[in-house]
Amino acid sequence: MIKINIQFKKIENRYDKYYSYMKALSWDTGHTYSFDNESGIEWLMQKMIGAYNDNELVALGCIKINYDIEKNEKYSELSSIVDYRYRRKGIADKLLKEMLDYCKELNVQKVRVNILKSNMPSVSQIEKNEFDFVSFDDDIITFEKKLINN
């Protein structure tokens, strides 16, 4: 049985972001990945929150900040992954809350998530957290949530 003592931390520096993202990609595939220059820079510019069990990264949340010029609105796209050994323990729900709080700190007005329709646990989580359905295209469901910043 895995002992759980989860702490959430913002991942600030470039090296930690790279390492964290590479580790998270390997959880479902078992493969080791590397960035090409173009996609690597995009991911490293994102804001990230890690969930750590003691000092081991067990979940990663990424926040990509965007700006809609037409609507004069800052919004973010959220993505997250939890190590398969730590799933179904409530970590994804807590990570989502941390990500939403971080978006509020960044004065983001709206968040968006894209989920594969086959990923029913994530769809249920997003619906439970009062995200609104936006669209369904090519097996991807898009949800949004407006944030009230204090």
What CATH number is associated with residue 73?
A: 3.40.630.30
Q: Is residue 35 assigned to a domain?
A: yes
Judge whether 134 lies within some domain: yes
d(CA 147, CA 143): 13
pTM: 0.85
pLDDT at 124: 92
C-beta of residue 63 within 8 angstroms of C-beta of residue 97: no
Show the low-confidence residues of the chain (pLDDT under 50).
Answer: 37
Residue 57 lies in a domain: yes
Contact 56, 4 (CB under 8 A): no
Q: Which domain holds residue 70?
A: 6-146
Residue 93 lies in a domain: yes
Q: What is the pLDDT of residue 93?
A: 94
Number of domains in the chain: 1
Residue 124 within a domain: yes
pLDDT at res. 35:
53
For residue 147, give both structure tokens: 């944030």
Closest CA to 77 of 115, 20, 128, 29: 115
Residue 31 to residues 22, 26, 34: CA-CA distances in angstroms?
10, 5, 10
Residue 1 located in a structural domain = no
> How many Å apart are CA 25 and CA 15, to the nearest integer?
16
Residue 31: the pLDDT is 53
**pLDDT reported for residue 4:** 84
pLDDT value at residue 1 = 62
- Give strand pairing partners of 139: none
**Tokens of residue 30, six digits:** 């078992």
